Structure formats: structure tokens, C-alpha cells
Structure 1
Amino acid sequence: MTRSASLKSTSPAELIDMRIAELGDWRGAMLARLRALIKEADPDVVEEWKWRGVPVWSHGGLICTGETYKSVVKMTFAKGAALKDPSRLFNSSLDGNMRRAIDFHEGDGIDEKALKALVRAAVTLNTSTARS
């Protein structure tokens, strides 16, 4: 079986596990922590693997992605511009009409309560829009 065929038969959750393991540094630990917080905020979240290797979390539509780069883990909220962010977590992609992102750098802390609230707000937005 080729690597491509093998990956196609692998679940998105397993692919995300593999990404976290292959990073093997602070980025993997950060991605794992963000993933856990997303799941705590929304136990019904669906994990997906899109765009040639990007972890994606959905519920009634795309909630956010978990992209990893050399010096940042970027959590991009698909409809972030429509979300209230009283804790001012969004610190990237602030000029767009739709998306907003949070860039996490090595050593950054996570405001877990505020992040979970943001995830829940994204789910609420998705599910209320889906019913309309």
C-alpha cells in the first residue's frame, strides 16, 4: 500500500495525532492543548483533515483550523469577524471580513476560559445560521 493510500484510510483524528507526534516540539504540545480545549468546549465537535494536512474542527460548519508554522501555531476561526471577543484573543488576520486568528508563539499561555467561550460562540453562530 502506498503512503497516499494509507493516509486516505486513516481517520482525521489519527492524522491529527500523527501531526502532533511528528512536530515533536512546543508546536505539537500547543496543538494538542488547543485540540483538547476545543473538545472540552464542544464534545460534539467533528475533527477533519483538509487542504493537504490542516486539522479542522467543525460543528454545523467550520469552527476553526489548527495550522502549524515554523514559529507559530495559528488557530483560525472561519467566522471570527462575526464573533464577540471580549478577552481580545484574536491577534492575527484582523483586517478580513470573515476570518480572525490567534497566533500562539513558543512560551505563550492560553486563556483557556476565554478560548472555550470563543469556540462555543462559533458553534452557536454556526448552528443558528444553519437553522435560518
Structure 2
Amino acid sequence: MAQEGDHVNPGTGAAEPHRTDDVPMPTLTPFPVQAGDPSTRKACRMNRNRPNGCGGPAATPLKRCVSEELARYFDALEGEQPCDLHKMVIGETEQALLQFVLEHTGGNQSRAAQLLGLNRGTLRKKLNYYGIDR
């Protein structure tokens, strides 16, 4: 009896299991690195050497800045529990990042998206979400 995925031989009517051994496997070739490819730049190499791109437990200037601001924020709360802390920190950080990179690129969204490692459509969506003038 034929099961899902089986091939029925039209000559005999018998069910045959689906064969994949006669299907050629694609040959994967490495993506060529172009001269000036951003992945060869110092900044990209530095990010690749960091676990998960975050630099591990060592405090970078950016981590120290965020930690100091969070300490001030918690002090200002005077013991009250924060609400949606992750959303707030990511939103504030992302908004500042987007604004800085747009200014750095002179408002060129294609270049900004490339620097951020985002699709240009995703960048436009984020700019709209944060109300950042393009």
C-alpha cells in the first residue's frame, strides 16, 4: 500500500519509496570576498571576535555607560519596581543608534542600513516607529 511520499511505479502500480540518492546535491562554493568588502574591515573583525557580538563580561565603554545610566534610573525610582525595563532600554538605545548612524551617513538610508546590518525596509520601518525624520 502506498504511503505519503512514496512513488507509484506507473508500469507495475507498486509503491516505491521516494528515492533521493539519484538527485544531485548542489555544490556549495564559498562566497567570494570582494576587495573592500565590509566583512574584512577592522570593525567587523573585532565584532566577530566577541562572543555573540557583545564582548563577553569585560566592560566596554558602552556597557559602562549603560550600566551607569541604569544605576541612576534605579536610584531615581527610590525602590519602586521598573516597568518594561527591557523595552525601554532597547528602545532608547536603538533610537539613539539610528539617529547617530543617519547623521553619520548624511541621511543616506541605504548606507545607514548597510552600516547597521539591516535591510533598508527594516530601517525605514524603525525610523517610522521612532518618529525619526528621514
Bigger radius of gyration among the two: 2
What TM bracket, shorter-length normalisation? under 0.3
TM-score (norm 2): 0.27
Indicate the structure whose relative CO is greater, using CA pairs within 8 Å and at least 6 residues apart: 1
Q: Which has the higher strand share?
A: 1
TM-score (norm 1): 0.27
Q: Which has the higher helix share?
A: 2
